[in-house]
Amino acid sequence: MNYLALIGGTIYTPFREIRDGVIVLSDGKIYEVGNIDDVRIPDGTELIDVSGSIIAPGFVDLLVHGGAGYGFSDAIPENYQIISDYFLAHGSTTMLGSLHAKPKNDLLHDLDLLSKYIKDNPESNIKAIHMEGPYLNPLLKGAMNESYLWIPSRESFLEMWEASRGLMKMMTIAPELDGAMEVIREASFRGVVCSIGHSTADYEIIDKAIDHGATHVTHMFNAMKPLHHRFPSVVTASFLRDELKIQLIADTYHVHPAVMELLIKIKSPKNIILITDSIRAGGMHEGEYHFSDQKVLLKDQKAFLEDGTLAGSTLTLNAAVKNIVKTTGTKITDALRMSSLNACKVIGSGKGILAAGKAADIVVMSANFEIEYTIIDGKIRFKKKFN
């Protein structure tokens, strides 16, 4: 057996903190985890000194449209690799490549190309698809192109499902639309995580959506009605219904830090999943880009349409972890749970925990949350250039 050991960092399992830690990897899995005084490192082990660094489960991003100048909806497989590499450099070991609404034939083509890429590249960090739409409410379309939204039907969903080769793992849908409940039931039956989003649904409709299989909420507070004390809707249901896990864009302007802190107190860290909702402008210079055939402007790392509507983000998950720790006082253990394990539980990946026998998907970060190593299945996939 070949062994690789990370030595000297602080390990976040993410439930516990192990200072002066050692994590030994072999055959794509974690062989041993513990304090440096308690772990016997096998002879011939390759050693990497990560003293002073954070060792954590690899990040899992359930909503990412693109980055580094490219998007999954480009329908160009060569671009998928560029996006993958960009997020490897920011610690994401698992991603759901996200697609948005398009005319029917174009969207089915996107699903076909992306699912084929995933099937053909099993070592990629792109593992499945999040279909954000096309069954969204035009009244809260956000940056989506209203002319591309579909009317919900079981038949059109099954066409998308077939085009995705069964790799559609999550779908954002507005349950108040005619036909949406049937789609939620059919998708849930096939193992798709149905996430409420871009929705005007009231409290009673959301209860029905839960009964039909909905278990998730897309980018909390955004593209939904605000909290109202007489007319409860998605926000209130998200607070009250334990069946619903929620996504959070922790860039500090999609949701104010004070509201993020409130959200953590209400839902607790075990029910929140940090996402990026990154678009092609992620990691790029200021200027003009596009999303769903609409002009997007990037300024001060904020992406927005010409009318001022926020258009996704330029966030990475290491930055999201840093933001939520620094601005809300959240414990690092909790922040790392929200960036890894919680998402793993949603999609059933079995990862997100650093323990013997678990998959060796690991991120090593500096004390300032800068990525130093990204490891997938025990293989180093990104290494920072050290001076």
Identify the structural domains of the chain with CATH numbers, from first to last.
4-56+353-383 (2.30.40.10), 59-347 (3.20.20.140)
What percent of the chain clears pLDDT 70, i.e. is strictly above it? 100
What tokens appear for 160 in the block? 């998308």
Cβ atoms 197, 224 nearer than 8 A: yes
Q: What is the pLDDT of residues 308-319, one digit of tens each?
A: 898 899 999 999
CB-based burial of residue 259 (10 Å sphere; 0-12 exposed, 13-18 middle, 19+ buried)? Answer: middle
Between CA 318 and CA 232 the distance in angstroms is 33
Q: At what angle do helices 104-120 and 77-88 cross, to 10 degrees?
A: 60
Cβ atoms 239, 226 nearer than 8 A: no
Residue written as token pair 């922790």: 250
What tokens appear for 147 in the block? 């002319």
| Residue 386, pLDDT above cutoff 80 | no
Looking at per-residue pLDDT, the higher value among 203 and 306 belongs to 203
Nearest CA among 182, 265, 259 for reference residue 222: 259
Residue 345 φ/ψ region, left for φ over 0, alpha for ψ in the -120 to 50 degree band, beta for the rest? alpha
List the beta bridge partners of residue 275: 249
Q: At what angle do helices 154-163 and 104-120 cross, to 10 degrees?
A: 40
Between CA 53 and CA 250 the distance in angstroms is 22
Q: What is the pLDDT of residues 91-110, one digit of tens each?
A: 999 999 999 999 999 999 99
Q: What is the pLDDT of residues 288-308, one digit of tens each?
A: 888 888 888 888 888 888 888
The pLDDT-based confidence of 59 (bands split at 50, 70, 90) is very high
Q: Looking at residue 331, what is its pLDDT?
A: 97
| Residue 277, pLDDT above cutoff 90 | yes
Q: What is the pLDDT of residues 73-94, one digit of tens each?
A: 999 999 999 999 999 999 999 9
Cβ atoms 94, 125 nearer than 8 A: yes
Between CA 164 and CA 88 the distance in angstroms is 24
Q: Looking at residue 338, what is its pLDDT?
A: 98
Between CA 234 and CA 236 the distance in angstroms is 6
Between CA 12 and CA 56 the distance in angstroms is 5
**Could you tell me where the DSSP H helices lie in the chain?**
77-88, 104-120, 154-163, 180-189, 203-212, 234-240, 257-267, 317-328, 332-339, 341-347
Strand-pair category, 66-67 with 46-49: unpaired
